[in-house]
Amino acid sequence: MHSGADIKEFGGQMSGPPLIPMIHAIEAASKPVVAAIEGIALGGGLELALGCHYRIAHSKARVGLPEVTLGLLPGAGGSQRLPRLIGVPAALDLITTGRHVTAAEALKFGLVDQITDHNTVNVAVKFAQRVADQPLDARRISTYPCLCPSDVAVLFEEVMQRVRRTARGAIAPIACVQAVRAAATLPYNQGMERERELMATLFTSGQARALQYFFFAQRAVGRWSMPSGARWDTSKPRPVHKAAVIGLGTMGRGITVALAQAGFSVVAVETQEKQLMEAKQAISGMLERGAKRRGVAPALDKINYGRNIQSVADVDLVIEAVFEDMALKKKVFQQLSAVCKPSTFLCSNTSGLDIDQLACQTRNPELVVGMHFFAPAHVMKLLEVVYGPKSSPLAVATAMQLGKKIGKVSVAVGNCRGFVGNRMLKPYLEQALFLLEEGATPEFVDQVLEEFGFAMGVFRMSDLSGLDVGWKVRMADGLAMPDPTTGQPTRLRQGRRYSPLGDLLCEQGRFGQKTGRGWYQYDKPGSQVAKPDPWLHSFLDEYRARHALVAHRIDHQEVLERCLYSMINEGFRILEDGIAAGPEDIDVIYVFGYSWPRHHGGPMFYAATVGLNKVLERLEHYYQAHPDVPSLQPCHLLRKLVASGSPPIQKWREVIKKVRSQL
């Protein structure tokens, strides 16, 4: 069996899936047709198998209907046949999630009739010979009654509520539920017509285009390049057999777990005895829980713990994960350079500090790169691999390969403050604060962003992460301080508008969920149920009065445009600076690392969808109103793209190359 339709064909005009008449002909055949499934049978491949009278799968085969992940639904009868074969609950699970299942699970569902460890085709041929004379009426799935539980109406209501909640604005999962409901309530032919109607709507939707763009973007980031001309296909990685993690806080623990679960031998170092014991217990728990979910033995024996940095002398690669302090990290890199083999790769898990400064502390700066994991590091898929001017293609290739082996989506980016993800996050957060100063409330801003599709709005996320984290960074940067003249917080810092709202909350001990108060109030410290806080609303009124700020009505459009377009504008600056090679890199980083809704494709694809001329016009409008906010000033690359006729996103690299050559 083949894996399904070529996704490259989805961009054309829908003329009806060519599989449908073929599947109907197979099902209507007078002789038994047996599907032999090897490898993977996804999408149209599985729908073709469902038209056969019997299905034999190799034990290592995997099957599924992943169309929902591309903004579509199974459009060749899959939504109608599958619930008739395996029942409505199981079909809803597979179709609305798009997940792949093993042959063993497929057999348990009744999706396949037999699994084998031998030659699948030979087994299928012998099976066909045995059933050659048996009647086929009972084997044509389209004639089956739909297998519905007695409370099927309640089931559909519950599933629809869950899907609406988790889809975060995506329409394909909802259409999938509607298609399966048609199978449960309509005759087969009418159900097929409903499937076709739903498919036609999805096929032409912007969401389907966004999801299909992202499908290719996710694969494109593996074909990385550097400004030096080094590329993925000319840079061979060096094998890593033994790795080390320095610092076993939250990030170090997650990185250790990710490495051990992938089969690497790991030396885990924490210099403080108490922290080491706590980390060891936490890591063991994470490994045991993960192994239980996957049905395997926990990789506890892959980790050796130590308090002495000398214990990493023989490793192939080190990931430093100590506290985000440059002086401390420099000291660690000096020690590592003295202790490790000359060939050892030295990597930092910094979220935005200068990789070049760390590389300068070592004997071999060409072997230094950043490996920016996202918390929790053993769960989150994104990894930013950060190269500086001295980083070798060998080091980048090795870090990218390691990321792949531990299950990460790795994106190679250049070195700057905040790299790609956190650099773009800054204007997004900045605008959210300015909106509060001008009349919005945290819950309104969050509501708009969550309705757009973010898992959490900016203020709920800030409460979860802890307001004190950013406060410490701003204090170190000389931003979080009172006005020395009046003793009151000023709204300008370093020549540009600055909002001290977060600093003022931190000064009162309002750090978010951990203290039970932040932008929201919570029933108790540690609670995750955010509630609007009347105290905060009064605080904002007093703040506006103190600074003579006149609140105005802020609508959904202004929230989205100021938060998203300022972020997008920074994305164009990043492309202009050569920090990211192309828009796909930025979009993959934001979907996997910052919960950008996948059905909007990523911030740069979203800009292309909205229209670059509109993004430019609205940025100019807001910059004119707020000339002390540089992040609202449209960047040169955006203007150049609009002047070039707003080419499709696939053509942006040509314009980017010209702009960079002129800098």
Of the residues 67, 270, 324, 558, which is catalytic?
A: 67
Concatenated DSSP letters of 552-590 = ----HHHHHHHHHHHHHHHHHHHHHHTSSSSHHHHHHHH
Helix locations, 110-223, DSSP H: 120-130, 152-167, 172-185, 188-203, 206-220
Q: Tokens in use for 557? A: 């459009």
Q: Tokens in use for 497? A: 């508008």
CA 349 – CA 319 distance, rounded (Å): 7
Report how far Cα 281 is from the mean position of its chain's Cα atoms: 29
Q: Would you call 576 a catalytic residue per the annotation?
A: no
Cα 639–640–645 angle (5° rounding)?
100
Helix axes 78-86 and 172-185, enclosed angle (nearest 10): 60
CA 404 – CA 410 distance, rounded (Å): 7
Q: What backbone torsions phi and psi does residue 228 show, to the nearest 5 degrees?
A: -70, -15
Task: Give the three-state DSSP class for 563.
Answer: helix
Of the residues 27, 38, 47, 278, which is catalytic?
A: 47
Contact 310, 340 (CB under 8 A): no
Q: How many other C-beta atoms lie within 10 A of the C-beta of residue 541? A: 13
Report how far Cα 267 is from the mean position of its chain's Cα atoms: 29
Q: Would you call 570 a catalytic residue per the annotation?
A: no
CA 192 – CA 84 distance, rounded (Å): 13
Single out the residue of 235, 172, 586, 567 nearest to residue 414, CA to CA.
586
Q: What are the angstrom distances between the C-alpha of 587 and each of 15, 322, 372, 421?
A: 31, 28, 16, 10
Helix axes 188-203 and 172-185, enclosed angle (nearest 10): 170
Residue 370, beta-bridge partner list: 348, 386
Q: Tokens in use for 117? A: 């460890």
In sequence order, the 6+-apart residues with CB closer than 8 A to the CB of 278 are none
In sequence order, the 6+-apart residues with CB closer than 8 A to the CB of 21 are none
CA 201 – CA 457 distance, rounded (Å): 29
Contact 393, 226 (CB under 8 A): yes
Q: Tokens in use for 144? A: 């089956």
Task: Give the three-state DSSP class for 533.
Answer: coil
Contact 620, 614 (CB under 8 A): no
Query: So which residues are the catalytic ones?
Result: 47, 67
